[in-house]
Amino acid sequence: MTLFISKKNQELLWRVINRNDAIKRMDMNFKIDWFKQTISYYYDKYEKDKLTKTEIIKINNEFIEHIKKDMKFMNEMRDKQEEEYKKLREEEIKKMKEEEEQKMRENYLVRGTNDMDRKKDELNEELIRKQDEFNDLLTKKTPEEIDFTEKNDKEEGVIKNMDELLRERQEARDIIDKETHTLYDKYVKANNLLEEEKDNEENIEIIEPS
């Protein structure tokens, strides 16, 4: 067994295994320890045997095959680790993307809610203003005392045609009434009140122009 662990034989085995590019690029300390352990394994295995040169060649071939199997095992472990790392990385990226999309959806909903609230406020204000105008128009005023005395046509405030004035006033009422109903429809849709309006139809007081 002395021939197997001789300096000459170990140098031969070292040169052979380093012909492999992957082994050649390995960390030197790791490679030396690995080489020594493998040499020790075969020394212990054949320590008590008296070996010829032919048998030493056979053991050297076993040594080389042993190194090949170790390399295959290390490559498989490396590939497995790389695959696990790749999978873990993909999961992390997917999680980060989902969190980012969730934040974007939340920000979009917040902006949408703010815009809707602003539009509701605008519709409410406009509806109130139109309703006030409509109520003012419907409010009956005490008629002023009619002065039947003759006045100059150029005098300010003279009513020449009462029928024409009443017609214009009725047209104004119709326009305001139409605008009010349009605004109210928008308000109902913006505030999701369609269903509530159906349930409360009997309680709505209908105001008709007098």
Residues 6+ apart with CB under 8 A from 170: 209
Q: Assess contact for 6 and 60: CB atoms under 8 A.
A: no
**Average pLDDT of the chain to the nearest whole number:** 77
Checking if the pLDDT of 149 tops 70, the result is no
pLDDT digits (tens, 9 = 90+) for 54-94: 888 999 999 999 999 999 999 999 899 988 888 888 888 88
The whole-model pTM stands at: 0.44
Q: How far is CA 93 from CA 86, 87, 90, in A?
A: 10, 10, 5
Per-residue confidence (pLDDT) for residue 127, from 0 to 100: 79
Strands (E), the chain: none
Q: How far apart are CA 186 and CA 205, in angstroms?
A: 19
Per-residue confidence (pLDDT) for residue 38, from 0 to 100: 93
Checking if the pLDDT of 14 tops 70, the result is yes
Take residue 42 and report the two structure tokens written for it: 């075969």
Nearest CA-CA partner of 207 in 168, 177, 175, 170: 177
Q: How far apart are CA 129 and CA 141, in angstroms?
A: 20
Q: Is 59 exposed, middle or buried (0-12, 13-18, 19+ CB in 10 A)?
A: buried
